[in-house]
Amino acid sequence: MKKVEIHPDAVERIKKFSVNDPQLGFGKYVCPIMVQAIYDNGEWKRFDLLPYGPLSLDPCAKVLHYGQEIFEGMKVFRHPDESIHMFRPEMNARRFNQSARRLSMPEIPEDQFLHACEVICAYSKNAVPRRLGESLYLRPFMIATEVGMGIRPSKQFLFIIIASPSGSYFSGEDVKVYIEREEIRSAPGGIGFAKTGGNYAASLSSYAKTIALGCDQTMWLDAYEHKYIEEMSGMNFFAIIDGALHTPELCDTILDGITRKSIIDIARSSGLQVHERRISIDEVLAAAKEDRCHEAFVCGTAAVIAPVASFMDKDKSVVKLKEPHGKIGMQLREKLIDMQSGRAPAPAGWLHSVPNLNF
C-alpha cells in the first residue's frame, strides 16, 4: 500500500479552515484539502494530500467525452467523546471497485482506499460537525484523463477525495414522488448498479419534469415492462405493507445502497419482517387505496430516511399516503442516526474509527 504524502501547504490551509453556519446545507462548504492519486502504466503511482483546487484537464481527456468516471458518497461522524468515525467505509470501497470494473477502470485495493479516506478525515477532524444529524461528507471519485478521441478505455486516471461538512439533507418535508412511466434510468446488462455519472445524467430530464409538476423525486421503473419499482435517482425505496417492509430486490439495474442494507439489518434485528422482492408500483398504489400501505420512505447516505407523502402518476392523479410521517420509518431513522453518531451501540464493524493526529 502507498502512503499518502502530506504536503505542508495542505496542512496550513486546513489549520485555518472553520465553518460557523447553523445551516450547513449539503455540499455548500468544502474542506480546502483533497487527496489525489495518479494512475498510469498499469499502477497507482502516488497518493498526495494537496490543497483543494481546480483540476487542469486536456480538452481531449476521455472523461469529458465518454463519461468514464465513478464516485462514492459516505459520511463521517463526531461522537460525544470527540472521536471520529466513518460509517461502513469498507462497503463504499467494495462498491467503488464494482463500479470501476463495470466502467473498465482500475480498482483501488480496499486498504488503500480506506487509508486515503482516513487521511483526509484525520486532517479534517476540526471540520467534522458536532450537531446531531450533521457529518463530514466524503466524495471519492475517479476520472479518465488519457488524452485522445478514440472510444476505448483510458490508460490514465485521477482518483480524488474531497470532504464537505454537511447538515441534514432531510428538509423535514415529506417527499412527493413522481412515477416515471416513460423514460428509464437503466436496463439489464447496463450500468445501473454502478455509481457513475451517466446514470445521474440519464435522470435529469425526468428530474426537471418531476419538479415542474410540484414533486420532489422521480421513481424509476423497470426497463421492460415499466411496471416494477427500481429506485429513485439517488435513493432506494421501501413501502410498509400490512406491517412488513418491502423493498425491491437487488439486480443489475439498482444501486446496492448501504443505507438500504443497514435499514434491513436494523429492521430485522428489531423483529420487523423485511421482504426483498419485485414490487409493482400498481401493487403499492392499490395497497395505499385499500388502507394496507400507510407508509413508504426513500433512503440514502445523504438523507438517511425521508418519508413519502404521495405518488403522482403520468395522468397527474395523486395517491396520498395516510401516515406520511410514518412511525416505522422515523423510528428506523432515529436508530440509524443514533448508531452513526455514537449515541447507541452499532453492530460490530459498522464504525471505522479515524486516528487522532496532532499536526
Ligand X SMILES: Cc1ncc(COP(=O)(O)O)c(C=O)c1O
Q: Is 332 in the site for ligand X (CB under 6 A)?
A: no
Q: Is 218 in the site for ligand X (CB under 6 A)?
A: no
Of the pair 47, 96, the CB lying nearest ligand X is at 96
Q: Is 235 in the site for ligand X (CB under 6 A)?
A: yes
Among positions 10, 138, 240, 255, the unique one binding ligand X when judged by CB under 6 A:
255
Interface map 297-326 toward ligand X (x if CB under 6 A): ---xx-------------------------
- For residue 1, give every residue at least 6 positions away whose Cβ sits within 8 Å of its Cβ, in sequence order, or none: 109, 111, 112, 115
Q: How far apart are CA 42 and CA 256, in angstroms?
A: 28
Of the pair 32, 300, the CB lying nearest ligand X is at 300
Q: How far apart are CA 273 and CA 270, in angstroms?
A: 9
* CB of 352 closer than 8 Å to CB of 114: yes
Among positions 129, 165, 248, 257, the unique one binding ligand X when judged by CB under 6 A:
257
Q: Which three cell numbers stand for residue 289?
A: 387505496
Among positions 68, 206, 247, 259, the unique one binding ligand X when judged by CB under 6 A:
259
| Minimum distance from residue 220 beta carbon to ligand X (Å) | 9
Of the pair 10, 303, the CB lying nearest ligand X is at 303
* CB of 60 closer than 8 Å to CB of 149: yes
* CB of 62 closer than 8 Å to CB of 148: yes
266: amino acid identity, one letter: I
Q: Is 140 in the site for ligand X (CB under 6 A)?
A: no
Of the pair 4, 235, the CB lying nearest ligand X is at 235
Q: Is 186 in the site for ligand X (CB under 6 A)?
A: no
Of the pair 260, 352, the CB lying nearest ligand X is at 260
Among positions 231, 306, 312, 332, the unique one binding ligand X when judged by CB under 6 A:
231
Q: How many positions of this chain bind ligand X (CB under 6 A)?
A: 12
- For residue 73, give every residue at least 6 positions away whose Cβ sits within 8 Å of its Cβ, in sequence order, or none: 92, 137, 138, 139, 195, 301, 302
DSSP 61: B
Establish how many alpha carbons lie within 13 A of residue 49's alpha carbon, considering only the half-sphere containing its beta carbon: 26
Among positions 206, 236, 310, 341, the unique one binding ligand X when judged by CB under 6 A:
236
Interface map 46-75 toward ligand X (x if CB under 6 A): ---------------------------x--
Counting other chains too, the contacts that 143-147 makes at CB distance below 8 Å and 24 or more residues apart are: 143/61, 143/63, 143/68, 143/69, 144/61, 144/62, 144/63, 144/66, 144/68, 144/69, 144/105, 145/57, 145/58, 145/61, 145/62, 145/63, 146/61, 146/62, 147/58, 147/60, 147/61, 147/62
Q: Is 258 in the site for ligand X (CB under 6 A)?
A: yes
Of the pair 256, 323, the CB lying nearest ligand X is at 256
| Minimum distance from residue 95 beta carbon to ligand X (Å) | 7
Interaction site with ligand X (CB under 6 A): 73, 231, 234-236, 255, 257-260, 300-301
